[in-house]
Amino acid sequence: MADFPMMSRISSVGLLQCLKACVLFHVFSSYGQCLNLNTACIEVKKAYTEKGFDENEVPITAISGADLSICLHTETCCTRSMEDKLTSLSRKEHTRQLDESFKILKT
């Protein structure tokens, strides 16, 4: 029973990471709703490169998001490749945080 608060903390870490990923995708996919879409793609390019990805993968202007799974399905500065890479990064970060949390449990 004493481990339940720790398990709750671990679940919270996972939930927090998931929320971060959702927010990140929302920023990448809907930035154009607040700004001129050309300006939005510049801002998305900055955020994407800050995550360590190639800025040339970000469209210069908004494109159709009809084939996307996470980003908006309307005009967006997000591509399928970007979604895949951000999903992979999010999974790796989530796994790393879970591993760190389980190390605490084992000690």
Q: Give tens-digit pLDDT for 91-107.
A: 999 999 999 888 887 77
The CA distance from 97 to 61, in Å, is 35
The CA distance from 67 to 80, in Å, is 7
Domain residue extents for the chain: 4-106
pLDDT for residue 107: 72
Q: What is the pLDDT of residues 49-107, one digit of tens each?
A: 999 999 999 999 889 999 999 888 888 999 999 999 999 999 999 999 999 888 887 77
Distances (CA, A) of 27 to 61, 92, 100, 101, 105: 16, 20, 27, 28, 34
Decide: 28 and 77 in contact? Cβ < 8 Å.
yes
Least confident of 6-20, 29-43, 53-67, 81-95: 6-20
Rg (CA), the chain: 17
